Structure 1
Amino acid sequence: MTMRGRKMNKKRGRRYKSIRMKLLEIFVLVVAVVLIVNIYVYFRLNKTIREIDSVYSSNIQLNELSETLLNLEDMLGQYLNTKSSDSLESYYLYEQEYRDMLEGLNEGTVNNPIRLAEKNIFNISMTYLDKTTDAVTAKRGRNVTRYNELYQEAEQLYDFLQTSIHSNNTTVFLKNSQKYSLLRTSLNYVVMISVVLLGAVAAVAAFWTIVMTRSITKPLVELADAANEIARGNMEVTFPIVETGDEISTVAKACNKMLDSIREYIRTTKENYERENRLIENELVMKNDLKEAQLKYLQAQINPHFLFNSLNAGAQLAMMEGAEQTCTFIQNMADFFRYNVRMMDKDTTLKEELELADNYVYILNVRFSGEIHYNKQIDERLLDVSMPSMILQPVIENSVNHGIRGMEGDGEISLFVYSDGDYIYIKVTDNGTGIEPEKAEKIMNGESAHSQQERDSAGIGLDNVINRLRRYYNTQDVFYIGPGRQGGTETVISIPRERGGNMDG
């Protein structure tokens, strides 16, 4: 790739911006603008409200000062008249409170009349407190003449202080009322400006959002119109290419390429149409030949019912001739084949599966001259349990073919059916050559451990049995195979109890 080509690709990469990113930018920008405006309005309103709240704080302070002074004067009078310790204690408390409140008044020299009045109140208050302290001291020293004089002077100062505080409070209140009116007017202006500002921001954001979304949706509408024309059968339409820098232009270009491919396909189809017409006659001839072959195949099939009826007739003939063993063998063969055909795709019961296993072992013993010893321990209460068909016979045949067959001495197969409450277990053991752990693991993993030629007489392998059990009970832990505790092979089928019908007997 040349240097110029790389630069063009980089430029295109910088210009490309997905629809998702565009919509995200619109959303973030609108939210950011609205948030900033709201924050500005919030702080402006809070500032104005705080100023309004603090307008009359000076009046409240003067009122509290006057009330404390009143309480102080009352406690002083009570103590001087009664010499009560409670009155003295209350006096000291109010005195300390009054001194603390005086610290908030102006003490310096200023040109402000209100501040100057506060300075006078402060100075007179300090003189008043000195007089009251001396009066209390004289009272405690039992100097009647002295504390009476001091108390009269304190009362005069008290009256002057109350008058000064009230006068100053009135002056401050008038000034604060003017300030309050100005702040209320300012608050109204702030609210009105905030509403106008929010409305303007909302209008601008809505207009900008409409413009931006229209720039996105307009090419989509044009693409939809072109698609509708194509849907009506007009294949000469081309999708408009709008360089929006997002997925829309990519889709339009891809659709135009698709249209070119469709047109080429239509042309090729037309060219092949005549050739296909010439082959229609040959195809019809081939279909007729196929139907004829299928008919011959159906005519050559053997009806299973004919086979069952023939085996039953053979069993009756053997019985009439006194060949009881032959009759029993043929009857077991008929029952075995009938079960295979009838129950392969249907549910059965544990009782029917056990009967099929009995028939199968009987047939094997006839074949191998009774070399297989078959033992059973069955919990009779579990015979009506529902289960898939053709499960036990492949397991027993696996024990025979891969365990007992070819071994020296008699083979032994044991079948156990028992339950522990949650599960019903069907265990088959043999005394054969056993099974390798690796092969057992493959079988339980669903891998075919035997070749197609090694499958059982019904064409069913253990992998088929395992898969059907897992699908039927909707669980993986339904089948185990491995070496037996005393040699041979042990196979255990675990049936969840809730799928069995009446299992309590």
Structure 2
Amino acid sequence: MNMRRMLFIVIPALFILNNAVSFFIFQSGRTVQQSYNMMLDRVLLYKQIDEQTQRNLSAINVYLMDRSSSSLELYKERNEELKELQLNLSRQEAVDSTEFNIRGFRHLLSTFISQEQSILNSLKSTAPLAYAPSYAEAEKTAVFIQEEAYQLIDLELSYYQPLYKKILVQTDMMNHWGIAVFILNTVISVLLAYWISLRITRPIQELTRTAEQISDGNLQVRPPQISARNEFRVLSEAFRQMQHNLLLLIEKEKEGLEKDRLVKELELEVLQNQINPHFLFNSLNMLSKLALLEGAEQTSDLTVSMSNLLRYNLRKLDRPVTLREEVEHAQEYFFIQQARFRERIQFEVDIDEAALDVLVPVLTLQPILENGFVHGIEGMEQGAVVKLAISCKPDEIWVAISDNGAGMSEEVRKSLLDLDTDRAPAEGEETAGKGHSTGLGTRNVFKRLELFYNKKDMIDIESEPGKGTTVIIRIPATGKEGRHVSLTDRG
């Protein structure tokens, strides 16, 4: 049984037991209270009827003396109150010992009301004291009502006295039972709480000790064996599986480190066999001077541009450069491309000098320009235009690289902007190993920009098939304080 199910059973059971005891005690007290209320209602009713008969006699006596309309109204009000009490008396259920007396009491009350009516009727007679006999009879009846009321009160108290004693005995017994059940319930609750706490804390302590030993590097420790089928058994098995996975991961990491060591050794051997970059730069410079001496100025300029381009591309990619350096590098790259395409292409620049001091990742512009040449204008025989525009906007610097070449489909455009998904390159994206000079794909350039500035949605591409392409880069104005990042995402 898991811990949740056990708690759902134990806690409601204790709650129901407490409520049952409370209900029985409450019900016993309620029974006593109802009995008291019934008796008191009848006793008070008898007393009210007695008092009301006396008030009625007083009111009719006042009316007989002054015969005023106000006295008559007062009598009628008293008479209505007495009839209301008579109606309440008829609704009362009499106990066995008072049934006969109640019946006589009702007859007396009806007689008294009839006698009052007789008094009023006798006033219509011309005889001056015609009401006197009826009034005397009414006074006698009122005395009988008073005596009968006291007798009924005594009978009620006598009838309920043994019943009350019995109820009090039962109530006292229920109180004792309630105390016993409360003590028993408390003991059971404490024992259950202790038992449940052991079932919870003991596995946690064992798992904690295991976790501490694993954190100290002891991966050979065995997690506790928990026989109960609950959450802690699942956690223990998860610990065991995690420990097994850690051991496998360590073995794989060791194998990976060994492979990396061998790869580093092979790379070192390869680098030792490669041409020294300084020797290559010096050779290009010598060729440039030789071409200049021989009068081949264009060849000399191309050789210098190629030397500068190669030197720039061999820079460390985790060091930022200014946008001005990127622009100069892009112009060197375009100079070489223009020597290849000649009059077929035209390079236009529109640059705000105030925007060129911002820091950007190295090799940001050239891969985008190269992508425009390879996939945009390379197949055009004439009229090809590539434009680089840099302008200052509020809080941003906009770099736009556009061409009037083949453009791209919407699918390719979206795939270039989707930097959060690893996938195969779409058509129109350059990748490493296809003869491009940098080996850095356009998507990788975009991703490096996001990593460098720690900002999303910096790139926008406007393109349609046959209508050219424009890549817009929105660089934050705080780019002058750009941070160094390790740029491992290379094509």
The TM tier, using the shorter chain, reads 0.5 to 0.7
1:219-230 to structure 2, matched below 5 A, reads: none
- Taking every aligned residue pair, what percent have the same amino acid on both sides? 24
The one-letter code of the counterpart of 1:457 is S
Q: State the Cα deviation string for residues 140-178 of structure 1 (Å, max 9, x = none).
A: 999874556545543443343244324433543465465
**Alpha-carbon shift at residue 48 of structure 1 (Å):** 0.5
Change (3 A) 1:500 1:218: closer
**Equivalents in 2 of 1:344, 1:143: separation in Å?**
137
Is 2:63 the counterpart of 1:83?
no
Change (3 A) 1:117 1:396: same
Is 2:348 the counterpart of 1:375?
yes
Superposition TM-score, scaled by structure 1 size: 0.64
Is 2:40 the counterpart of 1:59?
yes
Is 2:462 the counterpart of 1:489?
no
Superposition TM-score, scaled by structure 2 size: 0.66
Is contact 1:427–1:490 with CA below 8 Å preserved after alignment?
no
Is 2:437 the counterpart of 1:457?
yes
**Alpha-carbon shift at residue 496 of structure 1 (Å):** 7.8
The one-letter code of the counterpart of 2:55 is D
Number of matched residues? 439
1:196-275 to structure 2, matched below 5 A, reads: 196-201=180-185, 203=187
Is contact 2:377–2:384 with CA below 8 Å preserved after alignment?
yes
> In the alignment, what sits opposite 1:448?
425
**Alpha-carbon shift at residue 101 of structure 1 (Å):** 1.3
**Equivalents in 1 of 2:414, 2:445: separation in Å?**
15
**Alpha-carbon shift at residue 125 of structure 1 (Å):** 1.5
Is contact 1:59–1:172 with CA below 8 Å preserved after alignment?
no
> In the alignment, what sits opposite 1:128?
112
Is 2:330 the counterpart of 1:357?
yes
**Equivalents in 1 of 2:476, 2:205: separation in Å?**
61
Change (3 A) 1:159 1:106: farther
Q: After the TM superposition, which of the residue ranges 411-420 and 458-467 deviates more from structure 2? A: 411-420
Is 2:375 the counterpart of 1:402?
yes
Query: Which of 157, 162, 178 matches 1:194?
Result: 178
**Equivalents in 1 of 2:357, 2:203: separation in Å?**
70
**Equivalents in 2 of 1:498, 1:297: separation in Å?**
40
The one-letter code of the counterpart of 1:105 is Q
The one-letter code of the counterpart of 2:366 is Q
Change (3 A) 1:64 1:205: same
Is contact 1:399–1:489 with CA below 8 Å preserved after alignment?
no
Q: Could you list the runs of 5+ residues in structure 1 that have no partner in the other structure?
A: 1-18, 226-232, 259-282
Change (3 A) 1:439 1:208: closer
**Alpha-carbon shift at residue 498 of structure 1 (Å):** 8.6
1:36-47 to structure 2, matched below 5 A, reads: 36-47=16-27
Change (3 A) 1:142 1:415: farther
**Alpha-carbon shift at residue 395 of structure 1 (Å):** 1.4
> In the alignment, what sits opposite 2:149?
165
Query: Which of 389, 395, 401 matches 1:428?
Result: 401
Change (3 A) 1:349 1:133: farther
Q: State the Cα deviation string for residues 56-93 of structure 1 (Å, max 9, x = none).
A: 21213432453366357536446665432752563354
Cα RMSD over matched residues? Answer: 5.6
**Equivalents in 2 of 1:207, 1:295: separation in Å?**
74
Q: Could you list the runs of 5+ residues in structure 2 that have no partner in the other structure?
A: 210-217, 242-257, 482-491
**Equivalents in 1 of 2:363, 2:128: separation in Å?**
126
**Equivalents in 2 of 1:246, 1:469: separation in Å?**
53
